[in-house]
Amino acid sequence: MSIWDYANPKKFIATTTPLVPWFFGLAGVSLVVGLIWGFFFTPDDFRQGSTVKIIYLHVPSALMAINAWLMMLVASLIWLIRRHHVSALAAKAAAPVGIAMTLIALFTGAIWGEPMWGTWWAWDPRLTSFLILFLFYLGYVALWQAISDPDTAADLTSILCMVGSVFALLSRYAVNFWNQGLHQGASLSLDKEENVADVFYQPLLLCIAGFVLLFLALVLLRTRTEIGRRRIRALEMRARRQEVRA
């Protein structure tokens, strides 16, 4: 049997129903362990003090904010090429989760930035890129909500996702360019993954795993809800048709 069998809504629901609690459970365990480990059993950074520990929320959420969009892009392409409804609905389901991740990344960034840079917000290339990503998410969700016909909505949002990806990437480079132009040689570098020591690294990996699992659990749950909604709509339409005929 091929992987495309899961593109059937009923098959998808049947397969994922027993999986969702496991994903939630594993996500919970790795997040609790990872965060406690990270917050209480790692030394303070010699330069940043204990503020560095927000890294355990900031980095995983930022990572998932981008990966959620990538997942939406892949799901959109699958919908456009193979017309699998579950794929389109999964993309729809992932968007609000992606928004949440982007917001967490932005807020934790601000909380971290205040003691480190003395400001809640700087037009640093990375922060700015995330803000733009947030706008793309908003547009995507708004377009889904504005269109009543589900197939039309799936088609249009998929194309928007493709075009948006190109422009999001372009904006990322444009923003890098723009900020360099503003203050030559950016003094505030957010590149810290490269220099984290092993003591910080292991709990961080665990937190990232936790966020990935949490994302999967939420997207599966939301996809199932979307499938349910779509099914209700289909049943209502059929009932109305039979009424007209009778």
Partner 1 sequence: MTLRVRDLSVARGGWTVLEGLSFDVAPGTALILRGPNGIGKTTLLRTLAGLQPPVSGEIEGAGDDVAYASHSDGIKDALTVEESLAFWARVYGQDVPADIYDAFDLGDLRHRMAGTLSSGQKRRLGLARLGVVGRRILLLDEPTISLDRQSVNLFADFLRDRHLGQGGSAVIATHIELGLDAPVLELAPFAAQAGAAGGSDEAFL
Partner 2 sequence: MIALIARDLRLAIRAGGGFGLGLAFFLIVIVLVPFGVGPEALQLREIAPGILWVAALLSALLSLDRIFALDYEDGSLQLLATAPLPLESVSLAKAVSHWITAGLPLVIAGPALGFLLNLAPAAYPWLILSLLIGTPALSLIGTFGAALTVGLRRGGLLLSLLVLPLYVPTLIFGAEVARRGGEGLAVQGPLLLLAGVTMGTVALMPFAAAMVLKVNLR
Radius of gyration of the chain (CA): 21
| Residues near 136 by beta carbon (within 8 Å), at least 6 away in sequence | 69, 164, 167, 168
Q: Which is nearer to partner 1, 53 or 85 (CB)?
A: 85
Tokens 């601000």 sit on residue: 110
Contact 192, 55 (CB under 8 A): yes
Tokens of 156: 């249009």
The CA distance from 37 to 54, in Å, is 13
Taking the complex as a whole, the smallest distance from the CB of residue 235 to partner 1 amounts, in Å, to 7
Minimum distance between the CB of residue 159 and partner 2, rounded to whole angstroms?
5
Q: Which does 162 bind (CB under 5 to 8 A by kind): partner 2, partner 1, none?
A: partner 2
* Residues from 109 through 168 that contact partner 1 (CB under 8 A): 149-151
User: If binding is defined by CB under 8 A, does position 162 make contact with partner 2?
Assistant: yes
> Is 192 an interacting residue with respect to partner 1 (CB under 8 A)?
no
Q: Which is nearer to partner 2, 145 or 225 (CB)?
A: 145
Answer for which of 77, 103, 135, 188 binds partner 2 (CB under 8 A) is 135
Q: Which one of partner 2, partner 1, none interacts with residue 156, CB within 5 to 8 A by kind?
A: partner 2
The reply to whether 117 sits near partner 2 by the rule CB under 8 A is: no
Q: Quick check: 106 and 59 in contact, CB under 8 A? A: no
| Binding segment (CB under 8 A) for partner 2, from list 31-39, 47-55, 170-178, 236-244 | 170-178
Site map (CB under 8 A) of partner 2, residues 55-94, x = contact = ----------------------------------------
Interacting residue ranges for partner 2, rule: CB under 8 A: 132, 135-136, 138-139, 142-143, 146-147, 152, 155-156, 159-160, 162-164, 166-168, 170-171, 173-175, 177-178, 181
Interacting residue ranges for partner 1, rule: CB under 8 A: 8-9, 85, 149-151, 227, 230-231, 233-235, 237-238, 241-242, 244-245
